[in-house]
Amino acid sequence: MNYLTEYKEKLVLPKDAARLINSGDTIMYASFLGRPVDFDVELALRKDELKDVVIISCGGVQSFENQTSTVDKSHEHFVCSSWFLDAADRKLHDNYTMFYHPIQFSQLQDIISNDLFALDVHVQQVSPMNKYGYFSFGPANTYSLESSYKAKKVILEVNETVPFIPGGSEDSIHISQVDYIIEGSNTPLYSIPVNTNYSEKDKIMANSILEEIEDRACLQLGIGLLPNTLGILLCDSGLKDLGVHTEMYTDSMTKMFEVGVVTNKYKTIDRGKIAFSFALGTRENYDFMHLNPLMASHCGRYTNNPRIIGLNDKVVAINNILQIDLFSQVCSESFGTRQISGTGGQLDFVTGAMHSNGGKSFLCLSSTYEDKEGRLHSRIVPTLKEGSIVTAPRTAVEYIVTEYGKVRLRGESTWRRAELLISIAHPDFRDDLVKMAEDMRIWRRSNKL
């Protein structure tokens, strides 16, 4: 088969691809770095011609001035939502041009494949086609193949800067399954510089977790500065034969492999490989992943499935949270009614670590934050702020870490949980927290901090 001939037959200009969209269509954009650029700009130019076009994405990574999620505050033409709010999407959500789509990443493909979920078009940035007629989803696997199979039309936006990353599972799509191809303007993939400017608080918390990691542990590092800080410290930890099974692949994981800390030798599944679903990092990291047999690019149904995660021994899941109350309910995605991020895969990995032989999960937060007036507030609170979303229920919580220490809550009573949490709160707030715990009847007179 001459795949190049088929490629040319399906090749269209971005503006012609955008003209395939009709009022009332539902469009799925791929996650993070897979989000199309040229197609979306052309579609935005058609705003006044269209009504009620639903566009679902997952982490916009970067905002462009004239894109569908910025040109229509009325929501009459484009109704944009995201499975997960990153910094770019958060601004759009704050400006009321984007909605949040609640989801656990492990459930995403099952929701897309369900008969009740209607999908007309899937659009994604991909790598150039290889000689076998395949396009790689690159650093944006997650739910791409499921969405492509469900959609009535599949439009690929080829970007030469997208690395071809082997799998894994569901990591690529064949030209025979594609309806239209755009050769985009090769907008460089968004890159995040390695941030080594971590605070003393982050370093203290990272070292506290480091004490709990053993040789041959299997790591998941979530989004945020603290997990990245731990990754940096692990390079000099002296630990041996660590593995990686994660949702997001980062530069620190590449570094851990290069210095020999990560070998993946003793993983139960994907042995010898780093399993991941999407990547965010530097251009150097994307180049490292290109055609690298080390990488196992999997769909989210695999990487985030707690039963799959738990097949590895000594899983260590490390994630950031925003707030926790004295009942040990965890909020990681909103501040009151303001959506900050999303559930993502946090609960998936907390649960997966629970099912792992020797597994541990760590939820981390600095003990305080400052408001706009410079006033200090505790992140450990009597009850969550009204409207806040519970991301991890108290029954799933194991270790909580602040700069004042770490405590293990699993299996503890309500009064004991309150006592332990207050012990790692900022000292200025502990007395008030004790009084509130007494009022809520989760405090014993014999308690001692």
Return the CATH number at 256. Answer: 3.40.1080.20
Residues above pLDDT 70, as percent of the chain:
98
pLDDT at residue 194, rounded to an integer:
76
> Is the domain of 302 the same as that of 248?
yes
- 444 located within any domain: no
Q: Where are the beta strands (DSSP E) in 159-291?
A: 172-174, 180-183, 218-221, 243-244, 248-249, 274-276, 278-279
> Is the domain of 317 the same as that of 405?
yes
Q: What is the mean pLDDT of the chain?
A: 94
User: Lowest mean pLDDT: which of 114-123, 228-237, 354-363?
Assistant: 228-237
pLDDT at residue 449, rounded to an integer:
56
Question: pLDDT for 415-427, tens place per residue?
Answer: 999 999 999 999 9
Residue finishing a domain among 153, 183, 213: 183
**pLDDT of residue 232 exceeding 60:** yes
- 319 located within any domain: yes
User: Lowest mean pLDDT: which of 82-91, 148-157, 409-418?
Assistant: 82-91
Whether omega for the bond prior to residue 168 falls within 30 degrees of 0, making it cis, is yes
pLDDT at residue 401, rounded to an integer:
97
Q: Which residues pair with 364 in a beta bridge?
A: 320, 401
> Is the domain of 266 the same as that of 378?
yes
Q: What does the pLDDT average to over 21-37?
A: 97
- 189 located within any domain: no
Q: What CA–CA distance (Å, rounded) separates 439 from 432? A: 11
**Predicted confidence band of residue 448 (pLDDT cuts 50, 70, 90):** low
> Is the domain of 149 the same as that of 204?
no
> Is the domain of 175 the same as that of 212?
no
pLDDT at residue 192, rounded to an integer:
85
Q: What does the pLDDT average to over 369-392?
A: 95
- 421 located within any domain: yes
Q: What CA–CA distance (Å, rounded) separates 407 from 402? A: 9
Edge-to-edge strand list for the sheet holding 78-82: 11-12, 180-183, 153-158, 121-126, 26-31, 53-58, 78-82, 99-100
**Measured torsion, CA atoms of residues 50, 51, 57, 60, in degrees rounded to the nearest 10:** 60
> Is the domain of 178 the same as that of 204?
no
Give the predicted TM-score (pTM) of the model.
Answer: 0.94
The CATH number assigned to the domain holding 45 equals 3.40.1080.10
| Residues, the chain | 449
pLDDT at residue 446, rounded to an integer:
67
> Is the domain of 278 the same as that of 351?
yes
Residue finishing a domain among 152, 183, 214: 183
Active-site residue flag, 183: no
> Is the domain of 206 the same as that of 146?
no
Q: What does the pLDDT average to over 15-30?
A: 98
Q: What CA–CA distance (Å, rounded) separates 236 from 424? A: 27
Residue finishing a domain among 122, 149, 183: 183
- 407 located within any domain: yes
More confident residue, 406 or 202: 406
Q: What does the pLDDT average to over 214-223?
A: 92
- If one counts the domains in the chain, the total is 2
Q: What does the pLDDT average to over 275-299?
A: 96
Q: What does the pLDDT average to over 191-209?
A: 85
Angle at 107 between CA 106 and CA 110, to 5 degrees: 125
- 78 located within any domain: yes
- 122 located within any domain: yes
Whole-angstrom Cα Rg for the chain = 23
- 250 located within any domain: yes
> Is the domain of 377 the same as that of 268?
yes
User: Lowest mean pLDDT: which of 186-200, 255-269, 288-302, 408-422?
Assistant: 186-200
> Is the domain of 263 the same as that of 400?
yes
Question: pLDDT for 31-78, tens place per residue?
Answer: 999 999 999 999 999 999 999 999 999 998 877 678 999 998 899 999
> Is the domain of 247 the same as that of 140?
no
Q: What does the pLDDT average to over 120-141?
A: 97
> Is the domain of 269 the same as that of 170?
no
Active-site hit among 146, 157, 170, 247: 247
Of the candidates 297, 276, 308, 268, the one whose C-alpha atom is nearest the C-alpha of residue 168 is: 297
The whole domain housing 106 covers 3-183
Q: What CA–CA distance (Å, rounded) separates 124 from 136? A: 11
